[in-house]
Amino acid sequence: MNYENTGTIIRRLRLEAGLTQSELASRLFISDKTVSKWERGVSQT
């Protein structure tokens, strides 16, 4: 799986939904740092 492409998709969908990283994180019960890592392709989980 290409995590950079996945991060780009997550970011695009988040922005289309009008959410900040913090708002998305809150809805998913995760930290905003995790969302940031996902979007940058740093975290694989």
Sorted by where each begins, the domain ranges of the chain are: 3-40
Residue 3 has pLDDT above 90, yes or no: no
pLDDT on residue 36: 97
What's the mean pLDDT in 9-21? 98
Give yes or no for residue 34 having a pLDDT over 90.
yes
Residue with tokens 């809805």: 27
In whole angstroms, what is the distance from residue 23 CA to residue 3 CA?
22
Q: What is the mean pLDDT of residues 19-36?
A: 98
Specify the DSSP class assigned to residue 29: T
Query: Can you give the pTM of this predicted structure?
Result: 0.84
